[in-house]
Each structure stands twice: as structure tokens, then as C-alpha cells.
């Protein structure tokens, strides 16, 4: 079965308080797509954060001494440095222009995932606003999923069983270029454990745990692109693994098993 990723058209610019599930249902309708069991919807972090009101106006932030020090070392705005510290469990590396942290959600990323681009309210361009990641992306995904599934019993049919993921673009160790990665999910596996399965020759597989949700995040990110707040939701059909309950936590390598902190 082919894997098909379709960007949904006509998602408007998101304002705090917007009902994303309703907008997605409308966009699916416009696209002539009906949700089927096994489908997955992938949303960018940015629209979820905006809908949840995670915008912060920098002039409201007073940098602590630690933030002033981080700003000095990184060249970041001290108020942004303050937010990076508040949003992080630990600072892993600091260089001019670059702060790599363990986010409070547990993953490693730059600048605590705080977005300075395209976060203006009401269409105004203003770099004094920044956007934090959603408070609890697994929960955000679950809420959107519940709304979408509740809307799917059409014409007497049973409701559909779908998955929802929230993704962001992350830099990586060793390789150039950002790729889409999951920051929250509901209703699909984060990882798929193939231990015990054998390949066509009957030899037990060496590679045993696949980062399936991250692979899908990368695929969706390709479709969304970077400049396209116009297509911040992707409909996926043909995900090859069985759906189940899942969590971001599956994808987080415990510190004591991580050789590259």
C-alpha cells in the first residue's frame, strides 16, 4: 500500500483560542478527504502553540542573572535567554548563536523550541513576540484526536480510529539540516519494536527498534515545508504499522543510555 501525505488547504492563520479540530474537519471536507481508520493527522507545533495561547511578549520578561550570563555566552536576547532557561531541564551546549538544551518535555533541541519567526498577532510583523512549545503536546494531540474521532461516525457507521501527531523541526548531531521530529502524539506508536522478528533469510534482525513516529514526522515535514504556515496540517494514509496508544516518552533515550550528551 502506498504511503500518501496530503497537505490540507485552507487552514487559516491561527489565533489564540482557535478550534483546530473544527478547522481540520472543514479542511478535510474541502479536500474531499474522509477520515478512515488508520489515518493520521500531523500538525505543526506552531499552530498548536498559537491556538493554546503560548505567545509571549518579550517586554514582559525580566532576565535573571543566569539568563544574562546565557545571553552573554550565546549572543541571544537576554529575555529570550530567560525563556529558554524556564523551558529547559538543562543547558547542554552554548556557543555564539546556539543554545542546545534538554527541553522540559525531555527531548534535546535548540533554543528550547522557542520560535521567533512568524508569530505576530493579527498579521502584524513583530519580532518582540515569541512562541513557546505547547504545555503538554501528548495531551494536545489526544484532545484533537478525540474531537476528530467523535466527528467520524457518518451515516450510522462506527467512529474511525485515527492517530494525531504534533511535530517540530529539529537540528541534529553530526548532520546538517533540520528534520521533522515528533514532540507529541496520540493513537499511534512512537517506536516499533521488531525484536524477535526475522528477515527473509530467517536471520534475526539486528535493527530492532524503529523510530516510526519520527520517520513519519520527517515525511510530513517535507510536505509542510518551512515557509508554509498555509499548510500546517498533513493528512497521512498508509502508515504501515498497527495503531495503538503511544507517547512522546517512547522516543526519549534515557540519559544514562545516551552516549552523546
Q: What burial class does residue 32 get, using C-beta atoms within 10 Å of its C-beta: 0-12 exposed, 13-18 middle, 19+ buried?
A: exposed
Question: How many residues line the site for its own copies (CB under 8 A)?
Answer: 79
Spatial separation of the C-alpha atoms in residues 209 and 205, rounded to whole Å: 10
Please identify, using beta-carbon distances, which residue of 7 and 184 lies nearer to its own copies.
7
Phi/psi of residue 142, nearest 5 degrees: -65, -40
132 binds its own copies (CB under 8 A): no
Please identify, using beta-carbon distances, which residue of 62 and 201 lies nearer to its own copies.
201
Please identify, using beta-carbon distances, which residue of 64 and 178 lies nearer to its own copies.
178
Spatial separation of the C-alpha atoms in residues 14 and 81, rounded to whole Å: 26
Q: Which of 115, 140, 183, 188 binds its own copies (CB under 8 A)?
A: 115
- Minimum CB separation of residue 242 from its own copies in Å reads 13
Q: Which of 119, 162, 165, 233 binds its own copies (CB under 8 A)?
A: 119
89 binds its own copies (CB under 8 A): no
Q: Please give the radius of gyration of the chain, using alpha carbons only, rounded to the nearest integer.
A: 19
Does residue 106 contact residue 248 with C-beta atoms inside 8 Å? yes
- Minimum CB separation of residue 209 from its own copies in Å reads 5
Instruction: Provide CB contacts within 8 A for 258, sequence distance 6+.
Output: none
CA torsion 88-93-94-96 (nearest 10°) is -130
Does residue 8 contact residue 233 with C-beta atoms inside 8 Å? yes
125 binds its own copies (CB under 8 A): yes
Instruction: Name residues contacting its own copies, limited to 192-231 (CB under 8 A).
Output: 192, 194, 197-207, 209-212, 214-219, 221-223, 225-230
Q: Which of 117, 139, 150, 245 binds its own copies (CB under 8 A)?
A: 117
32 binds its own copies (CB under 8 A): no
Q: Which of 100, 112, 133, 144 binds its own copies (CB under 8 A)?
A: 100
88 DSSP β-pair partners: 103
- Minimum CB separation of residue 156 from its own copies in Å reads 30
Amino acid at each position: 500500500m502506498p504511503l500518501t501525505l496530503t497537505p490540507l488547504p485552507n487552514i487559516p492563520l491561527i489565533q489564540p483560542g482557535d478550534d483546530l479540530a473544527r478547522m481540520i474537519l472543514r479542511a478535510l471536507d474541502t479536500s474531499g478527504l474522509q477520515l478512515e481508520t488508520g489515518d493520521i493527522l500531523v500538525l505543526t507545533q506552531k499552530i498548536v502553540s498559537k491556538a493554546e495561547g503560548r505567545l509571549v511578549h518579550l517586554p514582559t520578561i525580566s532576565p535573571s542573572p543566569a539568563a544574562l550570563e546565557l545571553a552573554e555566552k550565546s549572543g541571544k536576547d537576554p529575555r529570550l535567554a530567560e525563556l529558554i532557561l524556564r523551558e529547559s531541564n538543562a543547558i547542554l551546549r552554548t556557543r555564539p548563536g546556539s543554545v542546545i538544551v534538554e527541553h522540559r518535555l525531555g527531548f534535546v533541541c535548540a533554543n528550547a523550541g522557542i520560535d521567533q519567526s512568524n508569530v505576530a498577532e493579527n498579521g502584524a510583523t513583530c519580532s518582540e513576540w515569541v512562541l513557546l512549545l505547547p504545555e503538554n503536546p501528548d495531551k494536545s494531540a489526544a484532545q484533537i484526536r478525540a474531537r476528530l474521532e467523535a466527528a467520524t461516525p457518518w451515516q450510522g457507521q462506527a467512529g474511525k480510529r485515527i492517530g494525531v501527531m504534533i511535530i517540530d523541526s529539529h537540528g541534529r548531531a553530526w548532520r546538517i539540516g533540520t528534520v521533522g521530529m515528533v514532540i507529541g502524539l496520540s493513537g499511534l506508536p512512537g517506536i516499533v519494536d521488531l525484536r524477535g522478528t526475522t528477515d527473509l533469510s530467517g536471520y534475526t534482525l539486528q535493527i530492532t527498534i524503529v523510530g516510526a513516529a519520527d520517520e513519519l514526522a520527517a515525511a510530513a515535514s517535507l510536505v509542510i515545508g518551512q515557509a508554509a504556515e498555509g499548510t500546517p496540517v498533513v493528512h497521512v494514509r498508509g502508515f504501515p504499522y498497527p495503531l495503538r496508544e503511544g507517547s512522546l516518552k517512547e522516543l526519549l533515550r534515557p540519559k544514562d543510555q545516551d552516549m552523546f550528551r
